[in-house]
Amino acid sequence: MADTLTRLEATIKERRAADPALSYVAKLFSRGRAKIAQKVGEEATEAVIAAVSGDADGLVGEAADLIFHLMILLEDTGVPFDAVLAELDRREGVSGIAEKASRPKV
């Protein structure tokens, strides 16, 4: 599983510098962070709709789109996917309720 995400991260890095006329990834980067973030939101909404409607196949596709666009957003902000994995590792074995309670209040 991590191999797939590692390859995807490398592909996104590579395509970032491509011609936006030839690469969807490059086109998104050229449109800026707000557009990338908008796409993450759209894909999250579509994943929720598929889940609530019981469309398992649709959810699989939308989840893939969401992860793909989230990884583009991470690349745009300079956050390596390994940082996300490290945070998940840190949280492993900790109650979700306890973990959330330990976060600083904003």
Q: If pLDDT is split at 50, 70 and 90, which confidence band does 103 have?
A: confident
Query: Rounded to whole angstroms, how far apart are CA atoms 3 and 17?
Result: 22
**Cα dist. 64→15, 43, 95, 106 in Å?**
18, 9, 27, 31
Q: What is the pLDDT of residue 97?
A: 81
Domain boundaries, the chain: 2-79
Residue 33 · residue 77 · CB < 8 Å: yes
Q: What is the pLDDT of residue 74?
A: 98
**Cα dist. 74→37, 77, 99 in Å?**
10, 5, 23
Q: Does pLDDT of 63 surpass 80?
A: yes
Query: Rounded to whole angstroms, how far apart are CA atoms 14 and 42?
Result: 24
Assign residue 18 a region (left: φ > 0; alpha: ψ between -120 and 50; beta: otherwise): beta
Query: Rounded to whole angstroms, how far apart are CA atoms 65 and 70?
Result: 8
Residue that wins the pLDDT comparison between 80 and 103? 80
Q: What is the pLDDT of residue 71?
A: 98
pTM: 0.86
- Percent residues over pLDDT 90 in the chain: 82
Q: If pLDDT is split at 50, 70 and 90, which confidence band does 94 have?
A: confident
Each residue of 16-37: pLDDT tens digit? 999 999 999 999 999 999 999 9
Name the CATH superfamily, with its identifier, for domain 2-79. Answer: MazG-like (1.10.287.1080)
- Tell me how crowded residue 46 is: count the other CB atoms within 10 A of its CB: 17
